[in-house]
Each structure stands twice: as C-alpha cells, then as structure tokens.
C-alpha cells in the first residue's frame, strides 16, 4: 500500500508502528494477509464459523485516543 508514497512518509509510518501502535512492532505484509486467507481456506478452519478475523498485528487492541504511555503501564 505504501509503495507509491514518498520515502519520508513510508519511514514515518514504519516508525509509528515500531513505536508501539502495532503490538507486533512492524507493518503488515501481503504475506501476512495471505496466510490468514490460506488458513480460512484450509481444512484446519473447518470449525471456524461466523467470525470476524482481524489480521492487523494487534492494532485493533490499541486505543488510538489514549497515549501509549498509559496503555503500557
């Protein structure tokens, strides 16, 4: 998604994720999404029904309105 953006903006986005806004500490890759899709298409997902799957490196767990310093405490 960031490939067409200026390098400075890409580096800012990477630093934002690494600072803690994504608990995994990195940006997602196409392979991360592909792995989630492959899981859901596999027999291993045969018992998964009606679920919402967040493939976001844990970002959905972080409150974007509360400072990270408070959340880490």
What tens digit of pLDDT does each residue of 56-65 get? 888 888 776 6
pTM: 0.67
List, as one string, the DSSP characters of 31-43. Answer: HHHHHHHHHHHSG
pLDDT of res. 27: 84
Domains and CATH numbers, the chain: 7-72 (1.10.8.400)
What tens digit of pLDDT does each residue of 6-42 get? 898 888 888 887 877 778 888 889 999 999 999 999 9
What residues contact 40, with CB distance under 8 A and at least 6 apart? 48, 53
| Residue carrying the six token digits 């500490």 | 25
Closest among 49, 52, 5 to 27, alpha carbons compared:
5
In the predicted model, is pLDDT for residue 73 greater than 60? no
């Amino acid at each position: 998604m960031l490939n067409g953006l200026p390098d400075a903006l890409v580096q800012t986005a990477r630093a934002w994720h690494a600072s803690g806004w994504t608990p995994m500490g990195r940006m997602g890759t196409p392979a991360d999404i592909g792995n989630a899709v492959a899981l859901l298409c596999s027999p291993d997902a045969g018992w998964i029904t009606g679920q919402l799957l967040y493939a976001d490196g844990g970002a959905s767990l972080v409150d974007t309105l509360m400072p990270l310093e408070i959340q880490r405490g």
